[in-house]
Structure 1
Amino acid sequence: MIDERRVSPLAHREPLHAGDFAHLAEDAFRGIVSVRAAPIHLAAPLQAVTGRILPIRAGHADLGRRCAVLWLGPDEWAILAAPDTAAGIAQDLSQALALYQHQVVDVSDYNTVLSLRGSAVRALLAKLITIDLHPRHFARGSGVATLCGKAQVWLICREDEKSASEPLFDLVVRRSMADYLWCLIADAGREWALPPQESIGQVPLHMPG
């Protein structure tokens, strides 16, 4: 159960809509675990604890309904799970990996997740991210660590349960950059009438000319 005293970094923001083109919302309080270990040691414990298969190819994620595992490097992964489950996952994995060199850290409180879906979101994100987001190259199950504007994010493409024909992107971002990223996405979505937002942070959306 989520502690009602907790405040998400985007609690002051309401979801943004631009018809069927784009929908932006915070997926608050997701469990997020950072894992470093040798894949030969991690694969079996990960599947036992989370039910997910360890992705071993760059740019890939193994997706479940409320749990995903993202490849970040040859010995590094991120687990996105349901709210208030990260501590248990981290503890169980640490115990299972006790005989091997590893690092398992619950980083839920350092990050939040933005959910972006709609028919125009690939074109919208293409304004902000330098990777190729065409469905041939970045389909469901793709995931990378990249820059979105000035914010470091983990970007995961999953299938929108409300519309299988439209992509849904999860963007995992540090709390301190969450409001900046929110306003940056809104600014990039003006072409599709996504409502503009005024940033309350210290990071400008655009470099001065």
Structure 2
Amino acid sequence: MAELYTPVAGLAPVLRQDAVSIQKTAPLARLSFRGRAEAQAAVAGALGFALPQTPLSAASGAGKAALWLGPDEWLLLAPEAGLEAFEAAVNAAVAGLAASVTDISHRQDAVLVSGPRAAWLMNSGVPIDLALPAFPVGMVTRTLCHKAEVILWRKAEDQFVLECWRTFQPYVLEHLLDAARELSAA
């Protein structure tokens, strides 16, 4: 599967150090989906893969991803260019069922935090244990980063996706850059 979270072409990284980097990602289609078992099965059919049912997990395939956010809530991701078709397919799948599908594509953005000190940098503002045994590759959670609500997804041992509301992103990035200055001084 092609990676959904790709750096914005031609845009310099927000931060580039030997131990860590932060890059803004290209826009994505983002749908907030809520529904019970029947609606979940219908959405799985539209996605081409089953929604993750295990807390703190993600599933992907067919160029899309689904992040588990709660017992009946998922963040559905797809390439931005296919937003209208993606939204139409999900809405058609749940037609007549008790479900909610909301386009939140313009509400949030994401950054990639990568490098051998990525977990250290993220822990400067995220109050959960990001050591690999406690937060393994593939784990996803809704949490706080410097008082802003975020979604954090560990994509690799040394790479995190940090999703947050666009209006909070400058605040979150400012605090991460401050922490990175401390890291570079250490």
Query: Shorter-chain TM-score: what band?
Result: 0.7 to 0.9
Verify: 1:75 aligned to 2:66, yes or no.
Answer: no
Pair 1:148-2:145 in alignment: yes
Q: In structure 2, give the amino acid aligned to 1:17.
A: R
TM-score w.r.t. the length of structure 1 is: 0.76
Kept after mapping to 2: 8 A contact 1:52/1:69? no
* Structure 2 equivalent of residue 174 of structure 1: 165
Give unpaired runs (5+ residues) of structure 2.
1-7
SS at match of 1:54: coil
Cα separation, 1, equivalents of 2:21 and 2:78:
22
* Aligned mates of 2:68, 2:88 — CA distance in 1: 20
What letter matches 1:183 in structure 2?
E
Question: Could you tell me the percent identity over the aligned residues?
Answer: 29
Residue among 34, 47, 50 paired with 2:32: 34
Q: TM-score, with normalisation over the residues of structure 2?
A: 0.85
User: 1:64, CA displacement in angstroms?
Assistant: 4.6
The answer to whether the 8 A contact 1:30-1:113 is kept is no
Q: Does 1:18 align with 2:9?
A: no
- Structure 1 residue 142, shift from structure 2 partner: 0.5
Contact preservation (8 Å) 2:107, 2:165: yes
Q: Which of 102, 106, 123 is equivalent to 2:103?
A: 106
Deviations 1:37-84 (A, max 9, x none): 1134313x3333323331112211114585321111111110122222
Spell out, residue by residue over 1:12-48, the C-alpha distance to the aligned partner (whole angstroms, 9 max, x if none). x8412111x11101103111110011134313x3333
Partner Cα separation in structure 1 for residue 168 and residue 59 of structure 2: 26
CA distance 1:39–1:140, shift in 2 (3 Å) = farther
Give the conservation status (yes or no) of the 8 Å contact 2:59–2:67: yes
User: Is the CA contact 1:33–1:86 (under 8 Å) kept in the aligned structure 2?
Assistant: no
Query: Gapped runs of 5+ residues in structure 1?
Result: 1-9, 160-165, 195-209
Q: For the Cα contact (< 8 Å) 1:72–1:144, is it kept in 2?
A: yes
Matched residue count:
176
Amino acid corresponding to residue 35 of structure 1 in structure 2:
F
* Deviation string, structure 1 residues 83-136 (Cα, Å, up to 9, x no partner): 222332221111111121011011111111111111101111112111121111
Instruction: Report if aligned partners of 2:45, 2:93 keep a CA contact under 8 Å in 1.
Output: no
Q: Cα distance 1:134–1:80, how it changes in 2: closer, same or farther (>3 A)?
A: same
Q: Does 1:126 pair with 2:117?
A: no
SS at match of 2:133: coil
Query: Structure 2 CA distance, aligned partners of 1:176 and 1:131?
Result: 23
SS in 2 for 1:176: coil
**Conserved 8 A contact 1:18-1:192:** no
**CA RMSD across the alignment:** 2.2
